[in-house]
């Protein structure tokens, strides 16, 4: 509890795990980890003990000149400025943690930021995760963390020489932020340095303060299930999608933005659905099958050819990052020459995709700049009324001197413009997205490209995600849960449900290498409390190599090893061309069951975490399940027509092999020399018995799909398959 005392005494605040003491001058004199009894304060020398609160003015840090304390309210006065700013901070004891609230700042004047929690510690090992320092207390690893409780507050944590620092900063001048001093808060906490302890406190914070730290979402059983992400879907294919979801055993389906929404028309349903009612009926059909359905969205981006917000006039809330005044008239017919400006447009971009400007609602693309001498301006040829020409379009306009020319900010790949963050464009788009999501009855939203906002990303991205969360809650109660690309920016208030949205770049690396890259990224921050998923794995991209059975099983084995779901990207347009599609979907279902059912032994899962090592699953004839390391097996002189893997060592004296043809045609048969039918068992991917045909002393095995072979009596399986032959064209 808080101890109130006159200025000649210290103030002490005690949680279950921490004891913080502030001296009569407002400095921190003690930070004790109550579990281990270790003092964390960097030094007992008063001259070097930090004030809990300092301010920064003109890049200079100023200490307070006065301090008072009444109960849990601390007041700091900065008499070095006129009028003197006064900062008020409340400290609340909240069970496992201390909550610090910046109540207000009077006379903020030229204050750049207020550091309202300012901790210096000794003997930290490192900054284990973004907001936490790690310590070794006689062999027991402990955390001391400072966690931001709102999207407006920035937290820094890091080692510093033999000590460490934790800072909570409230900045002035942030767009869409409350006045300095309102809505800024952090939690100071200590716990054992493990995932479970951290999550326990985070759950308590989330429940106490009703803020979305991702813990409630973490407990949603649906997030344990993998997701089928539909990147393309044609008219009448809703039933096929449901069939694919059932075959793969996933628990969720997510629709790419263009599949469920026409972003050009304010997220109205595209032609494939016709009406919102049709889309909702399909979503309801998925619900009837026990599936959750989610919507991919781009809440901060407007398409270049938007009908609603560009075609008849460029919306004023689309972001402009620089402007200049027009110096001479521009007629509707001018497509070359110079668009003259009052001042030189120095530093404006000249690379393709970055040269769009808006004048009175008309979008014009210039070619180059003239900035060396008057007349200044933009050099043609010009694209007039870009994406605004046609029936109902704005078309080229007459523009008079004094008009403002604003540079439109395009997104990273130049496929859209950014909505304005501070002027309200992002809020407008979030409202449209939330209304469309509610109308369709979606269960979750993936907010993509949330980094398409202005600096500072730690704040604007978090604010944009929070804005979408609030809008979703306004339309649906309880609101749908939220996933986002937001984690990539770092230092982000964790509003999202899942972590691990890593794209697979198959045009740059092989599938298995991308799985490894995903895992490397995932575990750079091993104790982040957010739930995790494997990256976004494209199964059958129309223009890139399709996932092969061993590619897919490598991913699934790692998913099982780390107990993380996967997002599988599926293109319906090329599903029929995905070799062994049914076998692959069946494989996904098998691993989903193994992972969710906890059927794989821990030792096997731990072994399967080895990078660049294949593991596969086999079932023997006695009904036993085996998850084993495997290696490539050469078949028929290492023919490119067949790909095969075999367990590295015999399992209960038997060898297990899986193989499949690498092309759909021609039909193949594998001739195994000197083998009788009682020496092996062959089954297809679904477990159906495949009966080989005896031919003399050999066996012919039809090879049209993925097969599993259990060798019951084979002294040398490598030689057996190497010496096998392929026969083409047989039934």
- DSSP string over 543-574: TSPPPPHHHHHHHHHHHHHHT---EEEEEGGG
pLDDT of residue 8: 58
pLDDT at position 249: 96
What is the pLDDT confidence band of residue 3, given thresholds at 50, 70 and 90?
Answer: very low
Residue 527's pLDDT band, with cuts at 50, 70 and 90, is very low
| pLDDT at position 99 over 80 | yes
How much is the average pLDDT of 175-194?
A: 90
What does the pLDDT average to over 519-539?
Answer: 73
- Taking CA atoms, 667 is separated from 586, 688, 701, in Å, by 22, 19, 11
483 pLDDT band (50/70/90 cuts)? confident
End-to-end C-alpha distance for the chain, whole angstroms: 82
What H or E segment, with its residue span, contains residue 92?
A: strand 86-94
User: Which DSSP symbol is given to 331?
Assistant: -
Q: Can you read off the two tokens belonging to residue 157?
A: 């944590």
Task: Evaluate if residue 493 carries a pLDDT over 80.
Answer: no
Q: Quick one: residue 557, left, alpha or beta (phi over 0 = left, psi -120 to 50 = alpha)?
A: alpha
Q: What is the DSSP-derived secondary structure letter of residue 525?
A: S
pLDDT score at 528: 55
SS (H, E, C) 659-700: EEECCCCCCEEEEECCCCHHHEEEEECCCCEECCEEECCEEE
Q: What tens digit of pLDDT does each residue of 393-430 get?
A: 999 999 999 999 999 999 988 999 999 999 999 999 99
Q: Please answer whether residues 573 and 234 qualify as being in contact, where contact means their C-beta atoms are separated by less than 8 angstroms.
A: yes
**Using 50, 70 and 90 to split pLDDT, how confident is the model at 489?**
very low
Q: Determine the angle formed by the axes of helices 549-562 and 581-596, rounding to 10 degrees.
A: 10
Residue 198 is predicted with a pLDDT of 85
For 148-182, give the DSSP string. Answer: E-STTEEEEEEEETTEEEEEEEEESS-TTPPSTTS
Which helix H or strand E contains 707, and what residues bound it? strand 707-711
Contacts with 550 (C-beta within 8 Å, 6 or more apart), sequence order: 614, 616, 643, 645
Quickly state the pLDDT bin for 520 (edges 50, 70, 90): confident
Query: Between 432 and 223, whose confidence is greater?
Result: 432
Question: Cα separation of 243 and 685, whole Å?
Answer: 18
Nearest CA-CA partner of 102 in 162, 16, 45, 178: 178
Mean local confidence (pLDDT), 12-16: 97
Can you spell out the DSSP letters for 256-300? -HHHH-BGGGTSB--TTT-SHHHHHHHHHHHHHTT-EEEEEE-TT
In the predicted structure, residue 248 carries a pLDDT above the cut 80: yes
Question: Mean pLDDT over residues 182-197, rounded?
Answer: 91
Over residues 311-336, mean pLDDT: 98
| Residue 107 banded pLDDT, cuts 50, 70, 90 | very high
Give Cα separations from 348 to 14, 30, 345, 631 (angstroms): 55, 53, 6, 56
pLDDT at 161 over 80: no
Question: What CATH number labels 11-211?
Answer: 2.70.98
Q: Quick one: pLDDT band at residue 513, thresholds 50, 70, 90? A: very high
Where do we find the tokens 């409390």?
529
Q: What average pLDDT does range 561-574 have in this prediction? A: 94
Break the chain into its structural domains and give their ranges.
Answer: 11-211, 320-408, 614-728
Contacts of 688 (CB under 8 A, 6+ apart): none
With bands split at pLDDT 50, 70 and 90, how would you rate the model's confidence at 487?
Answer: low
Look at 286-300, 352-366, 708-722 and tell me which has the smallest mean pLDDT: 708-722
Mean predicted lDDT score pLDDT of the chain? 91
Asked: is 614-728 a CATH 3.90.180.10 domain? The reply is no
In this structure, are residues 348 and 393 in contact, taking their beta carbons and an 8 Å threshold?
no
């Amino acid at each position: 509890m808080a101890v109130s005392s006159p200025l000649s005494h210290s103030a002490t605040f005690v949680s279950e795990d921490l004891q913080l003491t502030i001296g009569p001058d407002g400095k921190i004199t003690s930070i004790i980890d109550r579990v281990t009894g270790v003092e964390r304060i960097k030094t007992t020398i008063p001259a070097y003990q930090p004030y809990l609160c300092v301010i920064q003015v003109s890049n200079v840090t100023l200490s307070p000149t006065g301090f008072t304390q009444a109960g849990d309210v601390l007041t700091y006065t900065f008499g070095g400025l006129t009028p003197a700013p006064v900062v008020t901070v409340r400290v609340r004891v909240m069970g496992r943690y201390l909550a610090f609230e910046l109540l207000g700042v009077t006379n903020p004047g030229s204050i750049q930021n207020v550091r309202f929690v300012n901790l210096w510690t000794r003997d930290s090992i490192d900054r284990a995760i973004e907001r936490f320092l790690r310590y070794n207390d006689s062999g027991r690893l402990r955390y001391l963390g400072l966690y931001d409780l709102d999207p407006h507050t920035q937290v820094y944590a890091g080692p510093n020489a033999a000590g460490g620092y934790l800072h909570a900063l409230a900045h002035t001048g942030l767009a869409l932020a409350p006045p300095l001093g309102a809505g800024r808060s952090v939690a100071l906490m200590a716990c054992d340095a493990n995932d479970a302890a951290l999550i326990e406190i985070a759950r308590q914070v989330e429940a106490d303060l009703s803020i979305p730290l991702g813990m409630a979402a973490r407990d949603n059983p649906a997030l344990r299930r993998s997701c089928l992400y539909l990147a393309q879907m044609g008219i009448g294919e809703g039933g096929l999608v449901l069939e694919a979801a059932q075959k793969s055993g996933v628990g969720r389906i997510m629709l790419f933005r263009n599949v469920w929404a026409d972003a050009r028309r304010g997220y109205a349903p595209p032609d494939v659905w016709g009406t919102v009612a049709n889309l909702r009926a399909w979503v309801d059909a998925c619900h009837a099958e026990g599936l959750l359905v989610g919507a991919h969205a781009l809440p901060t981006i407007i398409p270049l050819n938007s009908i609603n917000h560009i075609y008849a006039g460029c919306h004023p809330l689309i972001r402009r990052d620089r402007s200049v005044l027009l110096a001479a008239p521009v007629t509707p017919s001018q497509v070359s020459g110079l668009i003259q400006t009052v001042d030189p447009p120095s530093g404006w971009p000249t690379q393709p995709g970055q040269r769009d400007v808006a004048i009175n609602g008309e979008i014009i693309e210039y070619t180059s700049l003239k900035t060396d001498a008057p007349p200044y301006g933009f050099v043609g040829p010009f694209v007039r009324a870009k994406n605004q020409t046609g029936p109902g379009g704005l078309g080229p306009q007459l523009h008079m001197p004094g008009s403002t020319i604003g540079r439109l900010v395009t997104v990273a790949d130049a496929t859209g413009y950014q909505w304005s963050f501070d002027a309200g464009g992002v809020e407008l788009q979030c409202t449209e997205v939330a209304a469309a999501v509610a109308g369709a009855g979606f269960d979750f939203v993936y907010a993509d490209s949330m980094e398409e906002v202005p600096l500072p990303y730690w704040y604007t991205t978090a604010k944009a995600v929070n804005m979408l969360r609030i809008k979703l809650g306004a339309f649906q109660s309880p609101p749908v849960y939220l996933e986002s690309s937001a984690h990539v920016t770092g230092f982000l208030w964790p509003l999202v449900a899942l972590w691990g949205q890593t794209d697979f770049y198959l045009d740059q690396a092989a599938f298995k290498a991308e799985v490894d890259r995903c895992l490397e990224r995932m575990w750079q921050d091993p104790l982040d409390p957010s739930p995790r998923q494997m990256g976004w794995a494209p199964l059958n991209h129309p223009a890139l190599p399709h996932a092969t059975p061993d590619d897919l099983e490598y991913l699934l084995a790692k998913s099982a090893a780390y107990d993380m779901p996967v997002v599988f990207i599926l293109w319906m347009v090329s599903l029929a061309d995905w070799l062994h599609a049914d076998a692959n979907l069946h494989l996904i279902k098998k691993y989903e069951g193994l992972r969710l059912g906890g059927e794989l032994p821990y030792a096997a899962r731990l072994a399967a975490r080895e990078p660049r090592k294949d593991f596969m699953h086999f079932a023997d004839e006695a009904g036993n399940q085996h998850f084993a390391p495997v290696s490539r097996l050469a078949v028929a002189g290492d023919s490119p027509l067949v790909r095969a893997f075999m367990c590295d060592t015999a399992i209960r004296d038997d060898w297990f092999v899986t193989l499949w043809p690498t092309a759909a045609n021609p039909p193949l048969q594998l001739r195994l020399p000197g083998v009788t039918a009682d020496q092996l068992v062959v089954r297809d991917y679904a477990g159906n018995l495949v009966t080989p045909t005896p031919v003399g002393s050999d066996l012919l095995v039809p090879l049209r799909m993925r097969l599993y072979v259990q060798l019951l009596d084979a002294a040398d399986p490598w030689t057996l398959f190497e010496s096998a032959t392929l026969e083409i064209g047989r039934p």
